[in-house]
Structure 1
Amino acid sequence: MEQPEVLLQIAAQSEFEAYPGVTQQKGYPGIRAQAPEDYSQVLTEFLEPVMRHFFAIPEELGLRKSICAFSLTTTPSAELGPLQRTPHFDASTPHHMAVLLYLCDEKHGGTGFYRHNATGFQQINASNREHYLDVYYEEINANRPAQRYFDNSSAEFTFLGMIPAKFNRLVIYHGSLLHSACINPAISLSSDPLQGRLTLNSFFDY
C-alpha cells in the first residue's frame, strides 16, 4: 500500500472482537476488526488479474470474497486447543486464495508451510481430504500436540519454509496448503495493534 501507516492508525482506533471458534479453541487464535471497505475494493481490483494470471484461475469462474479483517494473535500458548497447535489448511477447493497484508515487522515471525509426514501431503484437495483428516485426527488423539504455537518440524509435520513478516508485505497463497502462523509469543500476543502481530486477512474463492 502507498500509505500503510493509515491502515495501522485505523486499526488502532477499531473495536476488535474474538474470531468465531476461539471459545471452542478452534480457528484463528485471536481477535479481529473489519477493515475499511475502500481497502477491500482497491485490493480486489488490483489482485483479481494478478491471481487469475499467476495462479491459472479460469476466466469463467466467478469471485466470492470474504470480508477483509484486521487480525491480532492474542491467545496465550497455554490456552490453545489441539487444532490450534498444528499446521492447518483453510479450504480444499482448488482456487481458494489467502491474501495476507503484514502490518507488523520481522520480529513477529511470519507464515510457515509444512508437509504432513505420514501422508506426504503438502496441499489438501477434494481427492485426499478425507484420508488426510482421518490420519490427522488419529495422530492428534494418540499424541496431543505440544502446548505451543507451531513453528518448526515435529514428528508429524516437516517445516518446508517461511514467508517472514515485513511491514507492508502482501502475500498470496493457496488456502489448501498446510500452513501455520509462526509466532513469537514473548512479544506478539498483544491486543494493541501498534504493538502486536497485526495482519490484514482476506480470502478469495473461485
Structure 2
Amino acid sequence: MSFAIRMPPDVQSIDLAGQQVLLIDDFLENPHALVQAACDSRFDPCPGAAEGKGYPGIRATAPEAYSQELISLLDPLIRINFQIDESLPLRKTPCMFSLTTMPPSQLGPLQRIPHFDSSAPRYMAALLYLCDGRHGGTGFYRHKATGLQRIGAADTERYAAAVREELARRAPPQRYFDAGDEHFEFLGMVPAKFNRLVVYSGGLIHTACVNPGLSINDDPRAGRLTVNTFVDF
C-alpha cells in the first residue's frame, strides 16, 4: 500500500507568540489508505491512561512504509526551518495511530491541563490529522505563574513545582482543556483538518482540543484519528 507524500509539499509557517509551528495541508496523496490501515490495526490502551496520565485513548503502530515516507521529508524540513545542524543524527519514535476514547468523567488531573512532550532542545512533534475540523485541533498556551510557553531543561523543575502547587490548591474541572483559564493563557489553536501535518517543538505547552460529543470514539473512520511521531536530534 502506498503512502506517498504529495509533491511539492505546501509548507506554511505560523508564529505563535514567537514560536514557530509548521503546517502542510493535503500532506498525503492518498490519506484514505492510511485510514484503512488504521481500521486494519489492533489498538491498545495507551500506557498510563488507566492511572489518569498520558494520552487519554488507544494507540496502534502505523505502517513502516508511512514512517519512511514521513522521515524522508521531516529530516530536511525540520533542519531547514528550525536551524538544526546537519551533523546531528535524527532519532525517531515509532509512528502511532491515536484515537481519543476516554470520556471527560474519567480524565485524571494531568489529563485535564496542557502538557509538554520533552524539554530536550531539539525534540520535535509531527502530528498528522486523519479527522476533520469538527474534532477540534491543537491548542498552545503560556503558563501564567512562570511565564513559560516552551519548557527547556533548565525550566523543568520550576515548572513542575508550580503545576503541582496549582493542582494541589484546586483540581481542574472534569473536562478536556481548550480555552485558557486562571493558570494557562491561550495563545492559539491549529485546527484539525483531514490530511494536515503539524510540526512543532515538543517543549511547547499544548493540548489536544477535543469535541467530547463527537470525538470519543474508537472507530478510526468516525473518531479523532491522528498519527503521532516524535523526532530528536
Please say whether Structure 1 and Structure 2 have the same fold, judged by a TM-score greater than 0.5.
Answer: yes
Residue 144 of structure 1: how far off its partner (Å)? 0.5
SS at match of 1:9: helix
**Map 1:101-116 → 2, pairs under 5 A:** 101-116=128-143
Structure 2, unmatched stretches of 5+, are 1-27
Q: Deviation per CA, 1:145-174, whole angstroms, max 9, x where unpaired?
A: 110000001110011100000000001000
Count of residues in correspondence between the two structures: 206
Match of 2:89 in 1: 62
Is 1:92 the counterpart of 2:110? The answer is no
Match of 1:152 in 2: 179
Q: Distance in 1 between matches of 2:84 and 2:169?
A: 39
Match of 2:210 among 178, 183, 188: 183
Q: Deviation per CA, 1:84-103, whole angstroms, max 9, x where unpaired?
A: 00000000011100000000
Aligned amino acid, residue 122 of structure 2: H
Match of 2:18 in 1: none
SS at match of 1:154: coil
Aligned amino acid, residue 199 of structure 2: I
Is 1:29 the counterpart of 2:63? The answer is no
RMSD: 0.6
| More RCO (CA 8 Å, sep 6+) | 1
Structure 1, unmatched stretches of 5+, are none
Aligned amino acid, residue 163 of structure 1: V
TM-score by length of 1: 0.99
Match of 2:231 in 1: 204
Residue 47 of structure 1: how far off its partner (Å)? 1.1
SS at match of 1:151: coil
Match of 2:222 in 1: 195
Match of 2:167 in 1: 140
Q: Distance in 2 between matches of 1:143 and 1:61?
A: 43
Residue 13 of structure 1: how far off its partner (Å)? 1.5
Match of 1:43 in 2: 70
TM-score by length of 2: 0.87
Match of 1:124 in 2: 151
Q: Distance in 1 between matches of 2:60 and 2:147?
A: 36
SS at match of 1:94: coil
Q: Distance in 1 between matches of 2:74 and 2:181?
A: 35
**Map 1:11-30 → 2, pairs under 5 A:** 11-30=38-57
Residue 136 of structure 1: how far off its partner (Å)? 0.8
Residue 133 of structure 1: how far off its partner (Å)? 0.7
Q: Which runs of 4+ in 1 moved over 6 A?
A: none
Residue 58 of structure 1: how far off its partner (Å)? 1.4
Match of 2:198 in 1: 171
Residue 63 of structure 1: how far off its partner (Å)? 1.3
Q: Distance in 2 between matches of 1:60 and 1:93?
A: 17
SS at match of 1:127: helix
Q: Distance in 2 between matches of 1:34 and 1:133?
A: 30
SS at match of 2:74: helix
Q: Distance in 2 between matches of 1:78 and 1:26?
A: 14
Residue 69 of structure 1: how far off its partner (Å)? 0.6
